Every structure is written in C-alpha cells, then in structure tokens.
Amino acid sequence: MAKPLTDSEKRKQISVRGIAGLGDVAEVRKSFNRHLHFTLVKDRNVATPRDYFFALAHTVRDHLVGRWIRTQQHYYERDPKRIYYLSLEFYMGRTLQNTMVNLGLQNACDEAIYQLGLDLEELEEIEEDAGLGNGGLGRLAACFLDSMATLGLAAYGYGIRYEFGIFNQKIVNGWQVEEADDWLRYGNPWEKARPEYMLPVHFYGRVEHTPDGVKWLDTQVVLAMPYDTPVPGYKNNTVNTMRLWSAKAPNDFKLQDFNVGDYIEAVLDRNLAENISRVLYPNDNFFEGKELRLKQEYFVVAATLQDIIRRFKSSKFGCRDPVRTCFDTFPDKVAIQLNDTHPALSIPELMRILVDVEKVDWDKAWEITKKTCAYTNHTVLPEALERWPVSMFEKLLPRHLEIIYAINQRHLDHVAALFPGDVDRLRRMSVIEEGDCKRINMAHLCVIGSHAVNGVARIHSEIVKQSVFKDFYELEPEKFQNKTNGVTPRRWLLLCNPGLADVIVEKIGEDFLTDLDQLKKLLPLVNDEAFIRDVAKVKQENKLKFSAFLEKEYKVKINPSSMFDVHVKRIHEYKRQLLNCLHVVTLYNRIKKDPAKAFVPRTVMIGGKAAPGYHMAKMIIKLVTSIGDVINHDPVVGDRLKVIFLENYRVSLAEKVIPAADLSQQISTAGTEASGTGNMKFMLNGALTIGTMDGANVEMAEEAGVENLFIFGLRVEDVEALDRKGYNAREFYDRLPELKQAVDQISSGFFSPREPDCFKDVVNMLMYHDRFKVFADYEAYMQCQAQVEQLYRNPKEWTKKVIRNIACSGKFSSDRTISEYARGIWGVEPADLQIPPPNIPRD
C-alpha cells in the first residue's frame, strides 16, 4: 500500500493554496532569513522555534503592508460609505495561516520553510489564539470581518484590546480551573499601535445647563490608544482594519491637584484607569451588572465615535464648512452596526456629540442617529438582557442618563398618542423599568434608536417579533429583519480541512470559496463511487490525525474507527450538555446489560468553557469527566464507548476537531439558541447533525432536506404548550425506566463514589426546576440516536448523506450574510473589483 502523503506534501498539491513559484519561494526565504537575522542580532545567537515563528509572521506581514496602505488610500480617494462594526468581542483565533491563505502565499511559505529544514505546521502551533471573545457572538464578528474584506466593503471592526482574553481552562480532578490568558506575553506581530490617534474618554463629573448649551464638567479622563490589525480579503488585495482600543491613564492622572500628598501613590493609581481594557468578561448569554463592564462599553463607544466623526469630517466629501455642523450627509457616509446591546451607548453618545458639541437641533440629531445605527439581537434569554441600574448611570455617565430620559419621553409621547389610555403598553415599552431598582433596558434603547433590528436566524427573528419586541414590532413592523448567520469558508473549510477542500476543487474548481452556493454542483456526484470513496477517505485521515493529537496532548488512546460524536460549545443549561450525558449513561447501561451484543463504537467528545461564576455549568463539566472516569476504565466496555472532555476548547482546537467529527450535536431546547454557527461549520466539514428544530438548524434542514439531518424533539409550539400545561419532569422519570436508571445512578453517586452527594444539585435541578425540559426530549433523543447508529453501520449511505449536507451548506457562508446586511441594512453594494496589488503602479 502506498505511504500516505504528509500534510506538507498534500498541501503542495492543492492549487487553492497558491502556486509556489520559484520566485515567490526564494523571496520568502530571503525575507525570512532577514527577519531571523535581525531577531538574533538583537538578542542571542541560537534560534528557538518561537524565533522562527516570529520571523515567518513578520515575513507574511510584509506582504500585507503594501496592500493595507493601498486599500486605505483607495477608500480615502473614493470616499465610499463606511461600515463600522462595533463589538465588545472579536474571537479571532490565530492569524498566520489565515493571512497566508487569503494572500495565496501558503504554498510558497510551506516550500520555503521546508527548504530551511523546518515544519510550517509546527510553527503555526506556536502562535497564541487571540481569544477576545466568549463564543458565537465574538466569533461571528471575526467571520464578518473576513467576509466584509472579501466583498470589498470599506469596513472597520471596532472593539477593545483586552490584555487578558477568555481564560485558559484546565481540568483538575475533573473540575474546571481558570488560568489568565496572557496572550500578549511574547508580543503580537499582527498589531500596530497608533499613538497619533489617541483619544480622550470622559467619565463621572456633573452636567451644567448654560445659555450656550449643556456642559459635562469635572470629568475623569482616560485615554484610548488604538491598535490596528490588518484584515485581508480572500485574494482580492483588499486589506481592511480592525481597530482595538487600549486604556491609558493621562500623564497628569491624579496629579492635577497641586496639593498631591503622595506622588508615588498617584502614579500607582494609574492602574485604576488602565484596568478598563485589562480583561474580557467571561460570560456567555448572561448579564452581570458590574461598573467596570459599563465602563468598557462606554470606553469603546466614545473612542470609536470620535474616530468615526474625525474620519467623516476629514474625508473628501465630508463637511469642510467652517462651523462644521453639516451632518446631513452623515448617514449616507456612515453605517454603525451594534453587535448586541453591548455598544448600545452609541445611540446616546452620538446624540450627545451632535446636540451638545456640534449644536445640531434635537430632532435633526435624532433623525441622523436613527438612520446611522442598526441593532443585531443575539438572544431571547431574559437573564442575558442588559438592564443597567439608573444609579450607576447617574454617577458614571450623568449626561447620557439625561439624554436617555429625553429619548424615552419622546418615544412614550409617540406611543401614547397612538394608543391613548393604554398605560400598560407604555410600561412595557419604556426604556426605563420602574421598580425597587430603576433600570435602563438597553435592548429597548437599541430598538428605538435604530432604523433596522435583526435576529440571526429565521426562527429567532420570528420569536423577536412575536415575543421579545412584540409591542415594538406592532409599532414599526418595517424595522424588523432577519439575517441568518454564516461562517467564513476560508477559515472553516480551506484552512482547517485542506483534504476536503482539495477533493471539492478537483470536481468543481475553486470559485466556490467566494461563492459557496456553487457547492450545489456536488449534488450530481452523490452516487459517484469514486467521490464517495474520496470524501470518506478524507474524513478517516482527519480522524486519524485528531486521534494522534489527542494521544500526544492528553495521553488518551481512542479508536479512530469509532463514530466521533462531538458536542463543543459554551457549557450552558440551555445547550443541554446534560441531555448528551443521559444518552451516554444509557448507552453504558445497555452495554453492561448485554455485553455480547454488537454495538456501534463511539467516542463521545464534549468540550467548552463554563463562566467562572456559573455553578451549574461547572457541575456539568464535573459530571462529564466523572462519567468518563467510570466508562473509560470499565473493561467490559472496552473501546466501544469512550467519553472525552476536550479541555480548553477555543478557535484553534475547533479547527482540529470539526474536520474530524462524524456527528454534530446541536440539541438546545427549541426557541433558545438564536442561531448557532458551530452547526454550520460541522455541516460544511462533513459531519451529520443531530439536533432540535432550533436556530439555524431549521434552515439547515430546509436546505439539505430534513431527511438528511437527525431532527428530534419538541418544536417551539410544543415547548410553549408544555409551559402552559406545566412541565413535570417526574412524569417522564416515572414513565421511562432507562431514564430513571441513569438519573438514579447520577444521584446515588455511582459516578462519584468518593463523594456520593456530588451531583445532588444537578439532579434536583433536572427534577424540579429545569427551564430547558431535558427529560421531555430524552425519549425522542434516544430514538434518534438509534437511527444515527443504524445509518453509521452502512458507511456508504452515511457518506452519501454527508455529501448532500456539504452540497447544501452554501447558504451558510458569512459572505451571503454580509451581502444581505450590505443591501438590506447598510445601503451599500458588495464590490467585485480587485484593488491592484502593490507591485502594480497606480493610475
């Protein structure tokens, strides 16, 4: 049998990675050696693997710079409408390989590095993930940046340069332990500090109403230092910018008072100001009303809006009038997209600048603000909605509180005029929630202050209109839209699964990478024996590679011919990792009951981080690891069932596990997962989905045919009906013996013999206050899993379904999503034209 090709050899065969011309290779080698030389001249005379990584990163960065400068110059000259994507999270992952892919440099780099006696993949593994996000919302922002650059939009991502991103997760004795993510420790080769664009941000102080307008006085100032990261489009020479702000204390911080007693103390207190950009809040779908978080939200908004207005005024067609109060064209030149309510302060801040600083009259300013801003809702879970205490605003942002009151008053006057006497409607629709603690409902502020509001999957957008913002929908139905999420096929196919990308390119060419609908051309090949064989072979190679990785990193031996059953996402009750646990325990009990029976071997992999303060999520992790400890060491089970908890799940680990998965678990209670994007990545990479009719699963089933997914469980209507009737978990527990057995084992300490009461909290929740109805879907889930096993026994039929799924995944490209935002919300057209590369002189 022929020896399998190494990854390096495989990559060389793949045309989409860029032809490694001799000139390119020589150029890369020369540049690499030059960077390495400068590194070593400065420091030492022996190169470490990290030195090699930085030399390569700087070599690749050199190829970006010319395109970056030219793109920005092109925007300055053409003055297109600019898109500002505001997000408190950008979950970027690693940058080196993505940059090589998008510049078409991968093969040249691979060959050059190989000629120097090094291994490209080994160098890629040295790079830290930029983990400036929690999960879906932050990763969506990253995919959107890639698509906006690929579609040639003049777009900017604006956020915070957290010194510490999402924590690193260690598992110790089966429990999650958090470790600070010091991702900047060795420096970040992709960012460029721009101190010349540093801006002041104000906090606290008091408001004075004077004859010449409103003044916000006696504030504390924090400086916002921008760091720019290039965002390359796919082979179109466009390089956009992600600008992240870092907090800096002004040099006179706490030294302004001429009677400062303790100079040392004052200088040490600079940390207080600089803490604003210290750390990412690690909550996913949960609101924690901390003052530091509100400071972060205002910090990014205030710095960004000054930057946007500076760019608007200095642009060719901006307002050059001496008084500079001509903001009429502002919404024609600026679109601000709010990624959830976290940047909602953009609305009152833009009003403050227009009214207080630029002296625009209120009604005009409000019209401009509404036309400029648009809001994306990401969740319907009540505990995730931002509701800030009015008292916190009074102290931190007194002028913004006044502006919010004024916005709300005009809004309520409008509603009262349309619905006279309907006081309950006024209460429901107010931005201010009355009660023992008065609160500001940021979602209501966003809906009122935006010209477009969108959900992130069709079913979610319907729920938004019919429940969460029902009153607002009745008022302005035209404002509400759907924009189903997508993922970038560059990172989530070409980069992470070159083997699969290659077999697809062989059949349909490479245009699908920027027009994913072309995957439909694979449908006629669903019965092609050779293609079926190729697709199955790629999956097997990916599984072997991932098995080797698990063995090397975690010392766990797994059976690569078993079904890889993968459930990776943040740990949350609504995502129902507990339902998966019950299935695993039931499978274990079936094997123990009848050890001679033929079982389809499975490796169940569950991974994800729990918010540090989320007790139940941490208990779920402990349960998974405890179940694994029992099952993995039971000789009766052998390698028919293994349970692995994937430690420290993050973007770079997703890139390894997703291409190796056979089964993708997307099992949230119907109506709780707004969209999901992991589901799309698995579909694109040849896994089959077991899932509920929730989020984008609904549209995946529609695209591929419901018979090509394993759909089970309650629909949204059933969940609502069950709520009206009253969900009684005990009913299911009493009726289903296998469920009862599994629950009793967890409860009695079968999986925690040294601490029998360990999981009492978990079982108590499942039995008496489970908002997400795990038991109600258990039976359907078990039956559905049996169908999964039945199909897996027939590899050819399984692979045909895989091919159908891949062929129908085109809708779930973020290129499609961004095209819809561009046309339906921002009022711009995606540009096909390429900016000429830097080596071609400009006209």
CATH code of the domain in which 612 resides: 3.40.50.2000
Residues 464 and 565 in one domain: no
Note whether 581 and 443 are same-domain residues: no
Active-site choice (61, 333, 483, 575): 575
Do residues 599 and 466 both lie within one domain?
no
> What does DSSP assign to residue 353?
I
Active site residue 545: no
pLDDT of residue 535: 98
575 in the same domain as 453: no
Tell me if 505 is assigned to some domain: no
Does 564 lie in the same domain as 474? Answer: no
Which residues of the chain, if any, have pLDDT below 50? 1-2, 322-324
Is 714 within 8 Å of 692 (Cβ atoms)?
A: yes
Q: Would you call 378 a catalytic residue per the annotation?
A: yes
DSSP-H helix ranges across 119-199: 120-124, 136-150
Structure confidence at residue 14 (pLDDT): 59
Shared-domain flag, residues 605 and 460: no
DSSP 457-486: SHHHHHHIIIIITHHHHHH-GGGEEE----
Q: Is 149 among the domain residues?
A: yes
Of 460, 482, 504, which closes a domain?
A: 482
Does 279 lie in the same domain as 157? yes
Q: Is residue 525 in a domain?
A: no
Same domain assignment for residues 581 and 448: no
Supply 406's token pair: 């004024």
- Write the DSSP symbol of residue 354: I
> Could you tell me if 341 and 427 lie in one domain?
yes
The C-alpha atoms of residue 169 and residue 114 are separated, in whole angstroms, by 34
Structure tokens at 11: 């990559």
* Residue tagged active-site, from 677, 692, 799, 817: 677
Same domain, 471 and 565: no
* Residue 438 known to be catalytic: no
Amino acid at 646: L
Q: What does the buried/exposed string (b/e) look like for 365-380 if buried means 16 or more CB atoms within 10 Å of the residue's CB?
A: bbebbbbbbbbbbbbb
Supply the pLDDT for residue 122.
Answer: 96
Structural domain of 600? 558-794
Domain membership flag for residue 305: yes
Give the pLDDT of residue 625. Answer: 98
Beta bridge partners of 199: 224
- pLDDT for position 209: 97
What is the domain count for the chain? 2
- Asked if residue 26 belongs to a domain, the reply is no
Pairing of strands 480-482, 175-179: unpaired
Catalytic residue chosen out of the listed positions 570, 602, 622, 642: 570
Do 340 and 238 fall into the same domain? yes
Which 8-state DSSP code applies to residue 167?
Answer: P
Bridge partners for 168 per DSSP: 179
Angle between helices 615-632 and 577-593 (to 10 degrees): 20
CA-CA distances (angstroms) from residue 407 to 360, 430, 843? Answer: 15, 10, 49
Do residues 231 and 149 touch, judged by C-beta distance below 8 A? Answer: yes
pLDDT at 1: 46
Examine residue 764 and state whether it is found in any structural domain, yes or no. yes
Check: CB of residue 228 under 8 Å from CB of residue 194.
Answer: yes
Which domain-ending residue is among 455, 482, 509? 482
Catalytic status, residue 575: yes
pLDDT at 831 (0 to 100): 85
Residue where a domain terminates, one of 451, 482, 513:
482
Residue 38: per-residue pLDDT: 85
Active site residue: 35, 67, 411, 569, which one? 569
How do residues 120-145 score in pLDDT, each as one tens digit? 999 999 999 999 999 999 999 999 99
Q: Are 201 and 224 in contact (CB under 8 A)?
A: yes
Q: Looking at the domain assignment, is residue 61 inside a domain? A: no
Q: Please state, in angstroms and rounded to a whole number, the distance separating the CA atoms of residues 446 and 345.
A: 9
Cα distance between the two ends of the chain: 57
pLDDT of residue 7: 64
Told to judge if 539 belongs to the known catalytic residues of this protein, a careful annotator would answer no
> Is 412 within a domain?
yes
* SS3 of residue 168 by DSSP: strand
351 and 467 inside one domain: yes
pLDDT at position 512 is 98
Q: Residue 482 and residue 108: Cα distance in Å, rounded?
A: 41
With 0-12 / 13-18 / 19 or more C-beta atoms within 10 angstroms meaning exposed / middle / buried, residue 717 is exposed
Catalytic entry in 539, 681, 773, 811: 681
* Residues in CB range of 81: below 8 A, 6 or more apart: 154, 332, 333, 334, 335, 826, 827, 828
Q: Give catalytic status of residue 42 as yes or no.
A: no
Dihedral, 443, 444, 446, 451 alpha carbons, nearest 10: 130
